[in-house]
Structure 1
């Protein structure tokens, strides 16, 4: 079939196919209005790839948009994917998603199936280049789209091409891929198209039609046979009608002229799962109809009938048909389809039957509601949260009692929350609240979820207030439920910047936990210990150590204990107990790898990046934070995205990369505006102050850091490790000669250091005193002693730089060079270019000539190559590295070969040495 006026678009597809044949993964998102030619472009791609590539196709079906993994089943149903060499968690996930097996009792991670899809496509591409064609993505189920996008983003060096076609404005549009919007045809292409179709229109009428439909090819073809007077009527409004409206009206008029039996048969075609011809035949037989009744519709080109398969020529025809059918007739059709599905005992047929029964219901029907709830439970077991939310919501509408309705609305809200549909979750919670009684446990769960939701996207202070009030109401009668509420209230208060309120809630949680006993005592203890650590108050470390002793890090922790592990690891990171935090991260990483759990992997990777940054492993930190940021984006965890972006901003600030730092700060602040997570305001102020100080912009640094100080005081946060504004501000004050202001900050810093006995706080406090004191040697020596315990090489180098500067100004050049050279080597190795330049200038002032910066092997690697190199250097096989990094084995092999070539090594044994050299 000829494509008129699409030469640039065809060239873009040709380029994608050429890239795939060279061994690369390529993507293209094709968008446009209904009828603009998206399907035709996919057909062109299929024709061009025929004989050259394996072609996999799926098309979104409106009726299946709430069936988890329906589109993925279409895509993989025709290939022997189960023969691929998949790790057990991936195989289990994929078989459960495609309804081959039931999901395990523990459930599946939201994106576990994506990793299975990734490796199936990688295995196929190893044998033959592959092309994945996805049409009408706007109607595909969210779970299939998420899994396919997850795979597409990570198949970087596999011969797989992806073409996504969807209508303009579709919420499912994949982000981050090249996008091509199809315009209407120009006058020349319009004339060619109408001529090929043998139009009867005169040139003026053809021009009028082209103007009316804005060059839409489908509309040009389907409206060309209309009476000229009808064309004038269609275009008589003040503004052009949407193409969908024009076509649906035209199709509707054609449908109205069909015989009643034909319309009834067409309705069944529209409502039945597209490929299921067996059910269609059964339904038609039950109504004393057969496929011959469709002949009038085929004659006017509304459908095509071939080998028993019936297809609408365009989805708009199906839409027009359903919209023009009376509700009672639609319900009758759904009941007939449900009856026909009754003989099929397969899982898919049972679920389809339930949805048809729900569509046929007139009022409450507890049996159907319970069956829908079963569908939702299964969807959740394969991480189909968006589909589960729809099933629960529909079940709530059919529930006979208020308690059942409230419970199902709560479940719908929880599923929507986990699907990343925050606004939808909020609306469902409001409805659930109206049906929950004062005594009902559902009320507690509604409040807890509202608190988590508001902390993420709305007003965390209001969330905190509501949660604390509800906890107070329940603490006498149900202390266990009160503890659950406080567990949501504490992070809400922290996000809102209310440290004192968060600490008060943590103390209450600890008291309640001790009163209830069992695992609740452990939870309360960890909440209080973590809050004391976060706020810089004494006593938290001892509480956490008691809890830490009870955690089984070598076994298989149950799912409910995993958040507790993450909380303890985070607290230990704040306390600079890096080894203990890393032990927990290794456990979380192992569990996440075993379960192919992308969501669970975000925390250990992201927090490990923070540890690596503080320990001076900046390249590893940068690579890890980028990976965690991408995983958080895939999982829709907005605050986790911001958390990792704040780490990337710290790294950029320390390196003096001003534009990069400010870009990340702006992204974090955009999330603050959405979620109300004010704690990130404090963190970004600390980052900006550090950036300005490193760049030598002392006045700007003071401005930023004074704002950080005000926020820290307002938030009740005395922690000087995670929120490092005090040593920066003291140094900036000293550089400006504001010694009295500096002493106030230094006194606060050293006081907290003595109170908490934190090595890095004591080290930076002594460094600042050394900058201010007339006799400074003792202060700097004390700082160096504390640094030996702190394990923060960048801060040690800063102390050496300050010490060397003071020694040089006292004409003690030999000692100054010793300190300055050590600082220069560390800054240089970390690629902290702005600090390297300062150390370099000081060394030259002593008369010593040095290169601008030393280079290391890892300087040659990209972040992706470094991620692979670090995994392999720690002993991981290629397959293990792929599982941990959520990429294909082929991608690991590609990056590893480049790493060996760049570093000049030939074996894994030499890799660790080359990375350090």
Structure 2
């Protein structure tokens, strides 16, 4: 460990912290030969000898045919504990490892792996070693980075090594600690040479140190080769990258071996994903013998260990393979394909043996891509599709496979790759199935990314007219309507054209087609109604397609636009349940965010906050920044209602950060509403009006936000600011029977009315409010009416409304409004009711996640069921529950319902 004392000390400290229960993760990175493996081996050996259990997996160049091979290697010693996981997590791992079932999002697979590590760590401290992360199959690498961010809750250290080359993905952000290894100093290099090759003279040691440039592998490998420490330095050679110089030095050693041994080394290098039995079988088919490997073992270039051939350093294998001619590599891969037991790896070797087009192998790769997708290894699926494309001779088939590669890349989250593949496929994709899949992938990418411009409404209309399948035609027209709605871009010409196309009598026949037609027309502003939420949901639930998540979102938006918040919530809830059951976590997260918005609009603050907190956490795991921005804005709104201004502002900062330079209109509108509530609470009505006016610019949110405008505008002496919203809301009521919206309109009219006219509007507002579920807006209406009544000297009547409002505000922990109401009630001579301290404080005593877990447990869910519901491990659920018990001063599950009575309502 010469020259690595500080790094060794840092990692040793992390081991000791893990022993004490403070887990962590560390990434050791640097160039090839810089000493990464030596450093982590020293740390892991010391940990193992002091009682740590060690789990490990190794990345190998060229492996990873169907994904999760590394994860299987890592978790193999723990698979006998699978029954400790929740059923969905068990199923996710089974499918990932080749079992039958629906593939799960990587989040669920990652949680399953995390759960098994927690089980292992419960029996004693743990080291998880991942060598050569850059060569690990990508699906496993994703899981490793997922785990790296979560190790703090267990007595364990996840320790990974990786090269720092730019050609490999940068996975460092998820690791808590970074340990870069740089070249040794001149002093340390000379110390290493003196220890390793004391026979060299001082001038030779200095020349070697100069040429090795502080690379420990070069210092030790070159110390036995006089060409590296004798004679003048070659300027040309010094310009060659260190990795290439090391490979050349290994090739010089290989060149000294017999020709048959060099050929045997090529078989081992090409078959690094193979067992020694498979390598030897392929070698025999090539006319070689096991004895041909012996000279390379004597040279120390390769060893036989654990049933596999391992090279002294990965650079030996890459040097041997890259230096071989293409014909030799092809012959070796052909023989490996013939003897490899695993069908997926055999296909990979057959593909590596092919030069030029080969439809037979392309078909096998297509089957491999489908198999990888079924396991949830979507990155590997995309790679198999792309390799199949390269071997496909027929242009139309090649285009179809390119489109499928783009869709697999989209599902894997590789947006840039998916966009590039679509561009590649576009000139040749002319059969209808490929055209539709192309358009579908393009549309879904454009829905979640700002890097791909979507098709205009006129282009979608033209595409629809060119299709023969009515299902596809109506779906494309629905996309056009969705595009107009989400962008709030209702061009009169496009709106009329899409409406005309959707109304064509020959277009819709089936129930699904009629439903999509209704969604499209409602989103375009038509007076058409979606008559039954139950019927609509049953149609979607008969067969859940890949694009149905977005179409279901649009169904919810259609109900929101018709001001039917309860029906919209039912759609979002159905999506949450459906996609949870199908393990489509990204779609479930979007649905949670949508439900959070509707619940907040409908005054269900606690439920909306719980959805928002859960979806925000998941959005970070799934890289759904737009969804996270929406959730953070909703959280800010809930916190502002409660007067938790510091938390509200922090949530607004998160929303701004996740929104990027151009926030979505929906997100910006909700954030403005939250800012208005903060301003109103702090007695800044002018600012509140300005924020609300910005919110009103996005009608789907602004229609509800504008209900707060009149109170702020009157206080700011700007009643004229309400006119635009009042016109918009009044027009909306022409086609709506929403009691909630009617209450807001009548309340606004009351606040703006001359003294004599206000009572009638207030009483009508309360009448409609009592028929709605908007308890907080109803309480606000009673507050405003109570204030008016007190000013008009109707004191007794005022007390009744103020007392009712205060009870609601206190029970929902909306402190600023409760304080305002209590002051008004006191001025009216009323007695202020109070709640029990525990009921009033329980939502602030617990974190949002503790509260959510405690509520589910109080409803009868087991820890494993809660883990499935909230995407946590069951031990994490137990830890949160233990903390909740301590804060609530209880010790049994049966006591939770009473302790949480106020929040469960």
Normalising by structure 1, we get a TM-score of 0.86
Question: CA, structure 1 residues 209+725, in 2 after alignment: closer, same or farther (shift >3 Å)?
Answer: farther
Q: SS where residue 900 of structure 2 aligns? A: helix
Q: Does 1:626 align with 2:607?
A: no
Paired position in structure 1 for 2:158: 162
Partner Cα distance (1:250, 1:70) in 2: 32
* 1:664 and 2:654 aligned: yes
Alignment correspondent of 1:425: 418
Question: 1:233 and 2:231 equivalent?
Answer: no
2:480 aligned with 1:492, yes or no?
Answer: no
Matched, 1:774 2:754: yes
Offset at 1:423? 0.7
Cross-structure match for 1:789: 771
| 2:600 alignment partner in structure 1 | 613
* Equivalent position of 2:884 in the other structure: 899
Do the aligned residues in 2 keep the contact of 1:24 with 1:160 (CA within 8 Å)?
yes
Q: Please list the CA deviations of residues 369-420 of structure 1 after superposition, one character each: whole Å capped at 9, or x if unmatched.
A: 0000110110111111111111111111111211211111111111000000
Indicate whether 1:528 and 2:520 are aligned.
yes
Residues 538 and 734 of structure 1, relative CA distance in 2, 3 Å threshold: farther
Q: Does 1:415 align with 2:415?
A: no
1:139 to 128, 131, 135: 135
SS of 1:310's equivalent in the other structure is strand
1:363 to 356, 369, 377: 356
- The answer on whether the counterparts of 2:86 and 2:865 sit within 8 Å (CA) in structure 1 is no
Shift of 1:281: 1.0
Q: 1:446 Cα deviation (Å)?
A: 0.9
Alignment pair present for 1:726 and 2:706: yes
Q: CA deviation at 1:488?
A: 3.6
Distance 2:13 2:656 in 1: 35
Deviates more, 1:829-838 or 1:268-277: 829-838
Aligned to 2:287: 288
Give the C-alpha shift of residue 14 in structure 1. Answer: 3.7
Q: C-alpha separation between the residues in 2 aligned to 1:252 and 1:848? A: 93
The equivalent position to 1:759 in structure 2, one of 703, 725, 739, is 739
Report the CA distance shift for 1:514/1:26 in structure 2 as closer, same or farther (over 3 A).
Answer: farther
| Pair 1:598–1:49, CA change in 2 (3 A) | farther
Contact 1:750 1:766 in 2 (8 A): no
DSSP 3-state at the match of 1:756: coil
SS of corresponding position for 2:426: helix
Gaps in structure 2 of 5+ consecutive residues? none
Deviates more, 1:523-532 or 1:835-844: 835-844
Gap change, CA 1:181 and 1:755, over 3 Å in 2: same
Please give the secondary structure, in 1, of the residue aligned with 2:337. Answer: helix
- Tell me, in whole angstroms, the C-alpha distance in 2 between the residues paired with 1:525 and 1:192: 78
- State the alpha-carbon separation in 1 of the partners of residues 170 and 638 from structure 2: 33
3-state SS in 1 of match to 2:160: strand
* Equivalent-residue separation in structure 2 for 1:139 and 1:757 (angstroms): 61
What is the CA distance between 1:550 and its match in structure 2?
A: 4.4
1:57 aligns with 56
Q: 1:458 to 1:552 in 2, by over 3 A?
A: closer
What CA distance in whole angstroms lies between the structure 1 residues aligned with 2:830 and 2:216? 74
Deviations for 1:16-48, whole angstroms, at most 9, x for unmatched residues? Answer: 444544556533333333333332343234213
The 1:241–1:201 alpha-carbon spacing in structure 2 relative to 1, beyond 3 Å, is: farther
The residue aligned with 1:517 is: 509
The Cα of 1:828 is off from its aligned counterpart by 5.5
Residue 727 of structure 2 is matched in structure 1 by 747
Moved more, 650-659 or 845-854: 845-854
Q: Structure 1 residues 517, 130: closer, same or farther in 2, change over 3 A?
A: farther
Residue 454 (structure 1) aligned with residue 446 (structure 2) = yes
CA deviation string 1:230-267 (max 9, x = no partner): 88436887xx8754344344444444555433332222
Structure 1 match to 2:346: 353
Distance 1:670 1:558, change over 3 A: closer
1:618 & 1:29 partners in 2: Cα distance? 41
Give TM-score scaled by structure 2 length: 0.87
2-side partners of 1:120 and 1:34: how far apart?
32
Alignment partner of 1:125 out of 109, 121, 124: 121
1:860 aligns with 2:845: yes
Q: Secondary structure in 2 aligned to 1:411?
A: helix
CA gap 1:702/1:552 in 2 versus in 1, 3 angstroms: closer
Moved more, 197-206 or 275-284: 197-206
Distance 1:328 1:335 in 2: 11
Matches within 5 A, 1:173-188: 173=171, 175-184=173-182, 185-186=184-185
CA contact (8 A) 1:26 1:162 kept: yes
Counterpart position of 2:275: 276
Equivalent residue, structure 1, for 2:637: 650
Q: Distance in 2 between matches of 1:808 and 1:634?
A: 52
Are residues 72 and 765 of structure 1, via their aligned partners in 2, closer, same or farther at CA, if it must alter by over 3 Å?
same
Distance 1:340 1:819 in 2: 84
Contact 2:478 2:520 in 1 (8 A): no
Cα distance, 1:329 vs. partner?
A: 2.4
Residue 507 of structure 2 aligns to a residue whose secondary structure is helix
Distance 1:852 1:268 in 2: 81
Whether the 8 Å CA contact 2:569–2:595 is kept in 1: the answer is: yes
What is the DSSP-based 3-state SS (H/G/I as helix, E as strand, rest coil) of the residue aligned with 2:893? Answer: coil
In the TM superposition, 1:73-84 aligns within 5 A as 73-81=72-80, 84=83
1 CA distance for matches of 2:782 and 2:232? Answer: 82
Q: Aligned with 1:132: secondary structure?
A: strand
CA shift at 1:331, angstroms? 2.0
Deviation at 1:856, TM superposition (A): 1.9
Q: Equivalences for 1:554-593 in 2 at 5 Å? A: 567-569=554-556, 571-572=558-559, 577=564, 580=567, 587-592=574-579
Residue of 366, 385, 389 corresponding to 1:392? 385
SS class of match (1:62): coil
- Cα deviations across residues 330-383 of structure 1 (Å, max 9, x unaligned)? 222212222332xx3xxxx21111111111112111110000011011011111
1: distance between equivalents of 2:87 and 2:513?
Answer: 36
Find the aligned partners of 1:692 and 1:518 in 2 and give their Cα distance.
Answer: 51
Q: Secondary structure at the match of 1:34?
A: coil
Q: Matches of residues 676-691 of structure 1 in structure 2 within 5 Å?
A: 677-691=664-678
Comparing 80-89 with 875-884, greater Cα deviation is found at 80-89
Q: Distance in 2 between matches of 1:694 and 1:281?
A: 77
Provide the residue aligned with 1:912 in structure 2: 897
1:715 match: none
Q: CA 1:813–1:244 in 2, change beyond 3 Å: closer, same or farther?
A: farther
Mapping 1:242-321, distance limit 5 Å: 243-256=242-255, 258-274=257-273, 276-295=275-294, 297-298=296-297, 301-306=300-305, 309-321=308-320
Give the Å deviation of 1:71. 0.9
CA distance in 1, matches of 2:669, 2:569: 26
The answer to whether the 8 A contact 1:444-1:470 is kept is no
Q: What residue in structure 2 maps to residue 443 of structure 1?
A: 435
Partners of 1:697 and 1:852 in 2: CA distance:
28
Closer/same/farther in 2, CA of residues 791 and 31 from structure 1, 3 Å limit: farther
- Residues 93-127 of structure 1 deviation map (CA, whole Å, 9 limit, x = unaligned): 3233223x3x33x5544544334323333333344
Match of 1:875 in 2: 860
Q: Distance in 2 between matches of 1:865 and 1:461?
A: 42
1:109 and 1:382 in contact (8 A); partners too: no
Q: Any conservation in 1 of the 2:302–2:310 contact (CA below 8 Å)?
A: yes
Query: In structure 2, the residue corresponding to 1:434 is in which secondary structure?
Result: coil
Q: Distance in 2 between matches of 1:681 and 1:370?
A: 48
The corresponding residue for 1:372 is: 365
User: What RMSD in Å do the two structures reach over aligned CA positions?
Assistant: 3.9
Q: In the alignment, what sits opposite 1:221?
A: 220
- Farther off after superposition, 177-186 or 821-830: 821-830
1 CA distance for matches of 2:289 and 2:807?
83
Q: Does 1:113 align with 2:114?
A: no
